[in-house]
Structure 1
Amino acid sequence: MSTTTSALPPIVTEDEWRSELAALRAREKAATRELDAIAAQRRRLPMVKLPDYVLDGPSGPVRLVDLFAGRSQLITYHHMWEPGAEWQCGGCTSFTSQFTRLGFLDHYDAQFVVVTQGAIDEALAYREKVGNRMDWYSTANSPFGADMDAPAGGGFAVNVFLRDGDAVYRTWHTNGRGTEQLSHTFALVDLLPWGRQEDWQDSPEGWPQEPTYSRWVDPGEIAARYGASSGHQD
């Protein structure tokens, strides 16, 4: 999608540009240090012991502890779900489509899976249709999703868990824009001179701006690019 606009940043000398960049860099470095401090606080959060939840997996019922696949740490992305819909939440579909190579988590003793309120057969069919590569599980027959702040008919969420033997503990949760830090999509787009081009953003006068979500990739496009019938190969 292209944009027709005459919006251009001011043109200056290289010395002036470097001066402006240095001022911005100071703020960027401060933000990086703040994120480091937030991560340090996150590592010090207490945790809550969970009951022995049972979810539905590709081969039948599966205990929550088994989602770890033998690892000590687990991240679950709770995918929004509308029963019977041809296309599920565009934001969730787009977000999870980013994660095609998660093997690096092996070196951190961690696993990343999708959990949804959809029935497992329907969920797995959708996973295949849009070309998702993560393991999917269903909480349709379990209170797990609702207890993790992602109930049926509710929004998306991210949860993190720690395993000690067969005991599972919940350590962290976020939703809404709290998930953006996990995405490379917005990190890349926010580097661009025009940014996300959404009308809620603080942009110079004349910058291209459209309604929120209007430039997001929709599920049909993701399926066409990466799904089972796309011919795409990893």
Structure 2
Amino acid sequence: MSKNKIVPQSEWFAAHKEHLKREKELTRLRDRIAAERRALPWLKIRKDYVFETERGPEYLADLFKGRSQLIVYHFMFPPGADYRCEGCSLLADHIDGAEQHLKHNDVSLVVAARAPLAELVPYKRRMGWKFDWVSSYASDFNFDLQVSFTAGQIAEGETVYNFEKKAFTSRDLPGASVFFKDDQGNIFLTFTTRARGGEPLITAYDYLDMVPKGRNEDGRGMMAWVRLHDEYEDDSGSGESCCH
């Protein structure tokens, strides 16, 4: 049974109206941070990274597909992986709906992973995703973007992730990187987001944050309830077996 107070309509209205002030503060803060993000300095990309794509080998410049802005989501999928990252897959479930609008606003979006394309495509087909998934297997892209680490870096504790030097045991971690290409073909890294910074790309969380049970994690850790979308035990929409 909920511990929330049950109150008359007038008291309910007053409480929610007061809370709305905090919601508006958050909206205005988010707008200010977004403006600050767009004003950050850029880093020029000086390597010709090559990716394996379903169209054949392509350079980073090709992934823009004629647009000036590019978002790359870094999917945790190392070569020969015997698992499928549930968190990355949850985020990926949201990409196709957004991408059909992004491409009409001068933004291309691709997903990149270190595994060879031959390992990525079957999983993409299983999940029913349509977005462009490319492999950075033959380049330093993931390592230079600090979302993948060498065995030596891990052994020596020399891993830098989310602008922080911290010991990790995982060879690959998630994130998103944003690039801009000018009229002369120069490419710049304009922004990166790592760890929980990618949560705004998972709109299911926004829905869950509105409902009484929230994300329903019950102290079990982030995404404890998440499954690959074809592996939920109860797909009827009415049960709770996926959360226990």
- Give TM-score, length-normalised by structure 1: 0.84
Greater alpha carbon shift after TM alignment, 190-199 vs 134-143? 190-199
Provide the residue aligned with 1:203 in structure 2.
none
Provide the residue aligned with 2:70 in structure 1.
74
Question: What is the CA–CA distance in structure 2 between the aligned matches of 1:79 and 1:94, rounded to whole Å?
Answer: 11
1:1-234 alignment, distance < 5 Å: 6-50=1-45, 51-101=47-97, 102-151=99-148, 153-165=171-183, 166-200=185-219, 210-218=220-228, 220-221=230-231
Q: Which runs of 5+ in 1 are unaligned?
A: 1-5, 201-209, 226-234
What code does the residue aligned with 1:69 have?
Answer: K
The one-character-per-residue Cα deviations of 1:60-92 (angstroms, maximum 9, x if unpaired) are 210000000000000000000143345411100
What code does the residue aligned with 2:70 have?
Answer: L
Q: Identity over aligned residues, as a percent?
A: 34
How many equivalent residue pairs?
A: 210
The one-character-per-residue Cα deviations of 1:154-187 (angstroms, maximum 9, x if unpaired) are 2001000000132111000011110111221111
Question: What is the CA–CA distance in structure 1 between the aligned matches of 2:101 and 2:222, rounded to whole Å?
Answer: 33
Contact 2:90 2:202 in 1 (8 A): no
Contact 1:97 1:131 in 2 (8 A): no
Contact 1:157 1:174 in 2 (8 A): yes
Over 3 Å counting, the alpha-carbon distance change for 1:68 and 1:78 in structure 2 is: same
Contact 2:52 2:136 in 1 (8 A): yes
Larger RCO, structure (CA 8 Å, separation 6 or more) = 1
Q: Which runs of 5+ in 2 are unaligned?
A: 150-170, 236-244
Q: Kindly state the Cα deviation for residue 13 of structure 1 after the two structures are TM-superposed.
A: 0.7
